[in-house]
Chains A and B, each alone.
Chain A
């Protein structure tokens, strides 16, 4: 119940295309869903986050879509660029800020020209 399942493991997208990464969870107590972007040799950086009281959040080319009934959330990268090539992690957290984030296993995105 503590798992967050992320798919796909790897993704290749043409420049200008849409990258879509999906995550699913079981624990209905989760109420905070962040996405992280990690470049090689660097720590993950917070990209965007959503709470279950909204169905979508957009920041620039990055959008989180959230489906509470299906217990799924996804990251959409519009107009994907080679600079977006990185590993992306979804995560989820219970209401207490003292419990650790539960991370998905990551998706390696490659955007090719």
Chain B
């Protein structure tokens, strides 16, 4: 079965510090991978998605970036965090190509910026 690993579960960072969140998946090959951010009590904001190694599409201009160095690894980064970067970050995977492939989410990282 498909599994999504996200860590850490909780992270507290000072303003201006760098960020690296890692997502690794198992049980699938060539998945589409996604990073979402969710503010408290709010909806899902798509940040980046990737249909393959080295292929990144950005949905929202901001001080975050994403990379996909391996088929089953998706990394979210920032050089300098802002207060507005606080939120719940979710990694998701979906089978590529055909439609109707279910999308599954990881359990997320709660990021607090102080």
Q: Which residues of A contact B (CB under 8 A)?
A: 31-32, 34, 36, 41-46, 49, 51, 89, 91, 93-98, 100-101, 103-106, 108
Interface string of B71-103 (1 = CB under 8 A from A): 000000000000000000010101111111111
Given the known A-B contacts A89-B43, A106-B43, are A96 and B99 also in contact in the complex, defined by CB atoms under 8 Å? yes
Residues of B in contact, count (CB < 8 Å): 29
Interface residue B32 (Cβ < 8 Å from any Cβ of A): yes
User: Majority SS of interface residues in chain A?
Assistant: loop
Contacting residues, chain A, for B96 (C-beta < 8 A): 97-98
Q: Which residues of B contact A (CB under 8 A)?
A: 4, 32, 34, 41-44, 46, 49, 51, 59, 90, 92, 94-108, 110
Contact of A98 among B4, B44, B97, B110 (CB under 8 A): B97
Most chain A CB atoms below 10 A, which of B41, B97, B98, B99: B99
CB distance from A52 to the nearest CB of B (A): 11
Contact of B99 among A36, A41, A94, A103 (CB under 8 A): A94
A94 to B44, CA, bound (A): 18
Contact status B103-A31, CB under 8 Å? no
CB distance from B60 to the nearest CB of A (A): 12
Contacting residues, chain B, for A93 (C-beta < 8 A): 99-100
A49 to B96, CA, bound (A): 17
10 further A-B pairs in the complex, CB-CB below 8 A; given A97-B97, A100-B49, A108-B41 = A43-B4, A89-B44, A97-B95, A97-B99, A97-B101, A100-B34, A100-B59, A105-B42, A106-B42, A106-B43
